[in-house]
Structure 1
């Protein structure tokens, strides 16, 4: 059985080969809706499969992009990845997803592997410890966009949450409910991970603006495995926290586990607000107050910026931030 070619599809649809090429490249603006539907029907009817290798050679593009996520366990990461993949799929691109586990060496290996595969560009949640590699990519004008984190001075387009604002919103919600002894728990800040640093800074600013003392013993940034000890230390203080802000969804889970283990009633014994929404927020008792990120909008902007670079439409490198949404529930 012979392979179906573009010529076969064009003949079946009654259009030119160039029209079929425009369709395969997603350039639907060059044809009418009627023509597009005819081409779609012919492709399905003939079971046509494009020759990806030939297409890549002729257009000097693999129509593939890489996504290197810092830690795929975060619900924010999985939602972002899905939205990015969906958008690129609509634009005729395949995606390769890699999980760096917040390990710089693993991230380096994935970047080198993806470049060897000649992917057209990458969206990276940077670990922050591969500056030389990021600089090389920037120097070569390799299409790259940072997600969730940024690195000052590199001039690489970055998509982030308004992290300081998110923490300030959390503090306001807690103080509005009468809480003043407010703690914050995040993952480690040893590599200057943007959201962690900014959320702590926003937390401090919000306390100061309300005349509340910033207490170092209420600020902990540790590995997930050490969070139980950090929480225990905070709750052994003479003046233990009456409220806590979880710096991420994984941190929130650790706080909830601690509260259950120590029979703390939320919010009576401990008020809780999580930055990053979680799928079980409405199912938990009490329902969890969270600040969610607009993942679809952030993903779409990242895809837009990367496609501009891939197409050679050089734009000014910039950091774009999105505001979070406070989901008022019962845990604060």
Structure 2
């Protein structure tokens, strides 16, 4: 055989997919013996046999097929994570909590980003299901509940986190939004504010957003303050504010404080107020839901309600892995507390008497 032929044969060997039978043939043993070796079962295997298999594996650069092994073992030691915006401040910290918990539990993580697109979310769910992941964590859009329930019915554990949609989720880890919104509104009321503008996204289908609204209403009613619908303002991710915050401030009976329900709302409001040279907190106070990166370094640090996204990630993963190991567990709805981070953006004023 010529040198060129030998090189060609060697190249073709490396380019071909090396199979278990190839290792067995080279080592002169059966496929089952190689399989036992790869799975660490050496009880009835001689040192010479182990050495032959080891040399055959090294020579062929054989790598076990994880999918084939998962089909046999009925597990992949992998979970899927579906998020709406992987660049989000809280989302990234949640993913870190998920990943840290998985590392200590010998699980791998596959992450899919949907950009709040229900079609991408559906494709992500299907891809993870087809990949035979052991379970899925999802911050859902709320548009694929039927598909999620179908996969759960097929035996795939799925745990929701961050947002709750109409209470249809089976297992979910969320913050106690209603209590947090009550405490934030109460804080502003105790600072002397009587006209508090609640700035939110549409909450008709999203229970987590509605709970924040209900917490705000609860506080107003508790302190016998009227609910003024003019103080309920809306914001959309693509369109921005339905009414300009400056228009709201220029009304005859303007709010003395804004209570924003999402970090992007807070940052867009800050931008609008700064551009118009509206001073916080001298002209208007501001309290936001969710912390802003490096907010403590602002000229006027913003008072916020903080969740614990890292802990949410860890607790969601813990619940999912528990469901994977114990398929008969009942669904759980777990709420974690929020905290008020008091800074300098809320001014104490005298109440209107």
Category of TM-score, reference length = shorter chain: 0.7 to 0.9
Bigger mean CA offset, 71-80 vs 257-266: 71-80
Who is 1:126 aligned against?
Answer: 140
Number of the residue aligned with 1:320: 334
In structure 2, relative to structure 1, the CA distance for the partners of 1:59 and 1:115 (3 Å cut) is same
Aligned to 2:264: 250
CA deviation digits over 1:276-313, x for unaligned, max 9? 11222101111111111122222121111111222234
Report what 2:11 is aligned to.
none
**Superimposed CA distance per residue, residues 195-252 of structure 1 (whole angstroms, 9 cap, x where no aligned partner):** 2111111111111111111111111233133227442332232111110111011111
The farther-off stretch of 314-323 and 70-79 is 70-79
Cα distance in structure 2, aligned partners of 1:230 and 1:6: 69
Structure 1 CA distance for aligned equivalents of residues 277 and 200 of structure 2: 22
Q: Partners in 1 of 2:232 and 2:182 — Cα distance?
A: 15
Note closer, same or farther for the CA distance 1:323–1:172 as it changes in structure 2 (3 Å cut).
Answer: same
Q: Deviations over 1:157-214 (max 9, x none)?
A: 1111110111111112211211111011122325x12321111111111111111111
Aligned partner of 1:193 in structure 2 is 206
Q: Identify which of 243, 250, 259 aligns with 1:236.
A: 250
Of 71, 78, 86, the residue aligned with 2:85 is 71
- The correspondence for 2:231, drawn from 218, 223, 226, is 218
CA distance in 1, matches of 2:103, 2:69: 16
Q: Identify which of 71, 80, 83 aligns with 2:97.
A: 83
After superposition, the Cα gap between the structure-2 partners of 1:55 and 1:168, relative to the gap in structure 1 and judged at 3 Å, is same
Matched, 1:260 2:270: no
In 2, are the aligned partners of 1:124 and 1:147 still within 8 Å (CA)?
yes
Secondary structure in structure 2 of the residue aligned to 1:287:
coil
For structure 2, the residue ranges without an aligned partner over 5 or more in a row are 1-13, 15-22, 24-34, 44-61, 347-353
Whether 2:111 is the aligned partner of 1:97: answer: yes
Contact 1:189/1:221 (CA < 8 Å) preserved in 2? Answer: no
Superposition TM-score, scaled by structure 2 size: 0.77
Within 5 Å, give how 1:26-175 maps onto structure 2.
Answer: 52-53=66-67, 55-151=69-165, 154=168, 156-175=170-189
2:306 paired with 1:302:
no
Q: Report SS of the residue matched to 1:167.
A: helix
Which residue does the alignment assign to 1:292? 306
Which secondary structure state, in structure 2, belongs to the residue aligned with residue 160 of structure 1?
A: strand
* Post-superposition offset of 1:137: 1.9
How far 1:50 sits from its partner (Å)? 7.4
Local SS of the residue matching 2:215:
helix
| Residues 290, 327 of structure 1: 8 Å contact kept | yes
User: In the alignment, is the contact (CA less than 8 A) between 2:165 and 2:208 conserved in 1?
Assistant: no
1:207 maps to which of 220, 225, 244: 220
Aligned residues: 298
Query: Does residue 227 in structure 1 map to residue 241 in structure 2?
Result: yes
- Contact residue 286 and residue 330 of structure 1 kept, 8 A: yes
Supply the distance in 2 between the matched residues of 1:8 and 1:97 (Cα, whole angstroms): 29
Distance of 1:103 and 1:54 partners within structure 2: 32
The 3 A distance-change label for structure 1 pair 8 and 197 is: closer
Superposition TM-score, scaled by structure 1 size: 0.81
CA contact (8 A) 2:196 2:231 kept: yes
Q: CA RMSD in A?
A: 2.7
After superposition, the Cα gap between the structure-2 partners of 1:143 and 1:111, relative to the gap in structure 1 and judged at 3 Å, is same
Helix, strand or coil at the partner of 1:222: strand
Name the larger-Rg structure: 2
Distance 1:117 1:286 in 2: 48
